[in-house]
Amino acid sequence: MGFGGWALQYKTLQLMRVLVSNNGSILEFGSGEGTNELAKYFTVTSVEHDFNWLGVCPSSKYIHAPLQSNEDGTQWYSTDVLKDKLPKEVDIIFVDGPPGFIGREPFIDNLNIMPAYKFLILDDTERESERRLVEKIQNKTGLMPISFKCNGREFTLFCNQSELLKLSPTAKKEWFQERCRLRFGPFKGNENSNRFISDVHEDKGWMFNEYPSPVSESIQLETGAFSSIEEALEIAQDCQNSGLPLIDIVSDSDLSPIINAKDDMKEIRKKWSQKGNILTLKAEELDVNFEMPDEWEFENTHPDLFRLAEFVLRHPWDKTLRDDWNPSRKPGSLPALAFSGGVDSTAAMCVMPKNTILGYHQRNFESLLDHTNAIRMIEHLRSKGKTIHITKSNHELIRTFHGKSAGFSSDYACAVHLILLADHLDIGSIAVGMPLENSYLFGGYKYRSFTNTWFWKLYAPLFKSVGLQLIQPISGCSEILTMNIVRSEGLEEYAQSCLRSSSAGQVCGKCWKCFRKNSLLGLPWQMSNEIKTFLAKRPLKMAVSTLYSIQKMIERGENIDWLDEYPDLLELIEKDYSWLENHFKMSEELIPRMYKDEILEKIHAIGQPIGIDSPMVGMKLFEEVE
Ligand SMILES: [Zn+2]
């Protein structure tokens, strides 16, 4: 269950649980985070082409089947691999792969190697290509497709009628009774659909609703609801026999019990409480506290926000946090940025729209990390008329209960204060200052497709489902480019990524960050044990930007005799890394459409766009250590 549509995944899973009792078996094509959900209730076999996804769910049995090309240019899983490894018999086959841009239609040519099944479910059938597959399966198997709509998305079920009629009365009532309609089409133009409506109305007395069809520029018609699945199936059969253009039986799947926000709030209050302006989450690890603004109100905060906040703080250790959660918060209207005062974060601020809300998280416990420089930046911005919301919290201590040093529990824990403030401040999207080195240029040395990572597949749909779109405005910008953006706004004196200095405006000059950033700016730095340790480690951390920084030292004529101790770096230093000054344009997929033009225009004024032909794509330094 890969991309997007958390609500849809939730509905699909619910239907599966209605169709097949616990301990049933599922064969899924295309795995993902959702595999863990399936594995809670079923024995799962996952067919996956992308080795990055293998083993994500420890209890699923994975079949690694690389994609192979067919004669007609389409691609599908290697049948040689599948033939030997597929199970003989399963309850459900769930088709959610290969990814949509590769296409799933060749599934039809491989029906003969599929195990015996009771139910076949296709995901994403609101798309044109998946629709064609539905039609082909119907023609080949003679089974009537039943599609479920959910928030503009669809999934489609095939099975023998006898299996449906076996369902419990409650299941039939919840999923089908007074829900099933017949869908006809596609009709090209209103003239054709109107003729159909008047013909059928005269004959059967039905009324129709009209919808756009996934097949371009055509129309679909839906009847009113029939009283039961039995009735719908019988009439569908009649329509088919008399040659009417029946597409399928369609049902809205918004019928299963939806926990409404009020009941949900009772659950929230079991964990969360407020005393004065201190909000507390009673977590297993410790009482996590947040100093909220005086005007912030518990009652006016949607339960989804409390749930998401706990999720980003605790999901690495608690896998139950998404259970029984059916998000319903509507988006606010303003963008927000989790602002840290460092170079990347400041660059993100520079390119985001002017009305972006800035939220700073401050540790309220003693630690090596020093907020002095960040507060200096905040005061500077305030003197220029900007508003910055500071939220103090101890949430970075959660990790210390799991054998780690204090820090963010997950990558979006840096935005937890904005999640909790989202209703109070009318927030509809949240940006973070994640640069290229943490997104497409993994670890700063190896290219990866960021939208294919579990990270993006998990968070993007989850945030969106609670009305908070994620924005990664500078994920196409290297550290070099973010520095150039910050300089162009004259903020380089204030944006300090060094977290060690306690004197305002100063940096320690001895940490790994100072080594890279000071040398970029031509500021002094001092060789230290920390820098030596990092220089000796392979893969070299933040490799490409570090190599670029060393090149700058050489250009300035600095003494670099220390480099002789790292002969492999001497070789790498010869390469050209000037593309770090460019903007990796593919990253625009991480910016919601409404902000795209404005953000890209600002970035491209500083860094020229470069596309998939960037030398970074396919690049992998330090291959030998893997
Ligand atoms: Zn430093």
**Per-residue pLDDT reduced to its tens digit, 202-216:** 888 888 888 888 887
Task: Give the per-residue pLDDT at 216.
Answer: 78
Task: Count the Cβ atoms, other than its own, within 10 Å of residue 201.
Answer: 12
CA of 517 to the centre of ligand 1 (A): 9
Instruction: For residues 524 and 478, give the distance between their C-alpha atoms in angstroms, rounded to a whole number.
Output: 22
Task: Give the per-residue pLDDT at 623.
Answer: 63
CA of 407 to the centre of ligand 1 (A): 18
Structure tokens, 530 = 């920390």
Structure tokens, 344 = 């990347």
Per the CB < 8 A criterion, the answer to whether 388 and 339 are in contact is yes
Task: Give the per-residue pLDDT at 599.
Answer: 97
Question: Would residue 165 count as lying in a domain?
Answer: no
State the average pLDDT over residues 567-578.
Answer: 90
Per the CB < 8 A criterion, the answer to whether 222 and 206 are in contact is no
8 pLDDT above the threshold of 80:
no
Residues 232 and 262 occupy one common structural domain = no
77 is in which domain, residue-wise?
1-159
Per the CB < 8 A criterion, the answer to whether 589 and 456 are in contact is no
Instruction: For residues 532 and 520, give the distance between their C-alpha atoms in angstroms, rounded to a whole number.
Output: 18
Q: Which residue has the higher pLDDT, 504 or 49?
A: 49
Question: Would residue 168 count as lying in a domain?
Answer: no
For the ranges 373-377, 518-522, 573-577, 580-584, the maximum mean pLDDT occurs at 580-584
Task: Give the per-residue pLDDT at 258.
Answer: 38
Q: Which residues on adjacent β-strands are paired with residue 148?
A: 155, 251
2 pLDDT above the threshold of 60:
no
Instruction: For residues 307 and 310, give the distance between their C-alpha atoms in angstroms, rounded to a whole number.
Output: 5
333 pLDDT above the threshold of 90:
no
State the average pLDDT over residues 432-457.
Answer: 90
Backbone angles phi, psi at 567, to 5 degrees: -55, -35
CA of 97 to the centre of ligand 1 (A): 46
Residues 155 and 183 occupy one common structural domain = no
Question: Would residue 514 count as lying in a domain?
Answer: yes
What's this model's pTM, rounded to 2 decimal places?
0.61
5 pLDDT above the threshold of 60:
no
Residues 329 and 461 occupy one common structural domain = yes
224 pLDDT above the threshold of 80:
yes
Residues 230 and 284 occupy one common structural domain = no
CA of 521 to the centre of ligand 1 (A): 14
State the average pLDDT over residues 181-187.
Answer: 94
CA of 284 to the centre of ligand 1 (A): 35
Residues 281 and 207 occupy one common structural domain = no
Question: Would residue 485 count as lying in a domain?
Answer: yes
CA of 337 to the centre of ligand 1 (A): 24
Residues 455 and 312 occupy one common structural domain = yes
Q: What pLDDT digit, counting tens, does each position of 379-409 carry?
A: 999 999 999 999 999 999 999 999 999 999 9
Task: Give the per-residue pLDDT at 70.
Answer: 92
Per the CB < 8 A criterion, the answer to whether 343 and 474 are in contact is no
Q: Which residue has the higher pLDDT, 259 or 517?
A: 517
CA of 200 to the centre of ligand 1 (A): 76
Residues 268 and 119 occupy one common structural domain = no
What is the crossing angle of helices 512-521 and 543-555, to 10°?
40
3 pLDDT above the threshold of 60:
no
Domain C-terminal end among 125, 159, 193? 159
CA of 498 to the centre of ligand 1 (A): 4
CA of 430 to the centre of ligand 1 (A): 28
Residue type, 169: P
CA of 494 to the centre of ligand 1 (A): 14
49 pLDDT above the threshold of 90:
yes
Instruction: For residues 622 and 538, give the distance between their C-alpha atoms in angstroms, rounded to a whole number.
Output: 7
Question: Would residue 164 count as lying in a domain?
Answer: no
Per the CB < 8 A criterion, the answer to whether 336 and 305 are in contact is no
Task: Give the per-residue pLDDT at 262.
Answer: 59
Task: Give the per-residue pLDDT at 253.
Answer: 58
CA of 534 to the centre of ligand 1 (A): 14
State the average pLDDT over residues 401-420.
Answer: 96
Task: Give the per-residue pLDDT at 54.
Answer: 92
Q: Which residue has the higher pLDDT, 17 or 91?
A: 91
CA of 369 to the centre of ligand 1 (A): 11
Residue type, 203: D
Task: Count the Cβ atoms, other than its own, within 10 Å of residue 101.
Answer: 6
CA of 512 to the centre of ligand 1 (A): 7
Residues 27 and 155 occupy one common structural domain = yes
CATH code, domain carrying 122:
3.40.50.150
**Structural domain count, the chain:** 3
CA of 472 to the centre of ligand 1 (A): 26
Residues 518 and 391 occupy one common structural domain = yes
State the average pLDDT over residues 566-573.
Answer: 89
CA of 342 to the centre of ligand 1 (A): 12
Domain C-terminal end among 159, 190, 211? 159
Distances (CA, A) of 344 to 2, 20, 348, 525: 30, 49, 6, 20
Domain C-terminal end among 99, 129, 159? 159
Question: Would residue 169 count as lying in a domain?
Answer: no
CA of 506 to the centre of ligand 1 (A): 9
Percent of the chain with pLDDT over 90: 62
Q: Which residue has the higher pLDDT, 254 or 431?
A: 431
CA of 515 to the centre of ligand 1 (A): 8
CA of 159 to the centre of ligand 1 (A): 63
Instruction: For residues 99 and 123, give the distance between their C-alpha atoms in angstroms, rounded to a whole number.
Output: 11
> Which ranges of 333-408 does DSSP label H, i.e. alpha helix?
343-351, 372-383
469 pLDDT above the threshold of 50:
yes
Residues 138 and 197 occupy one common structural domain = no
Residues 241 and 267 occupy one common structural domain = no
CA of 571 to the centre of ligand 1 (A): 27
CA of 486 to the centre of ligand 1 (A): 18
Question: Would residue 170 count as lying in a domain?
Answer: no
CA of 103 to the centre of ligand 1 (A): 49
419 pLDDT above the threshold of 90:
yes
Question: Would residue 109 count as lying in a domain?
Answer: yes
CA of 502 to the centre of ligand 1 (A): 10
Residues 283 and 407 occupy one common structural domain = yes
Residue type, 434: M
513 pLDDT above the threshold of 80:
yes
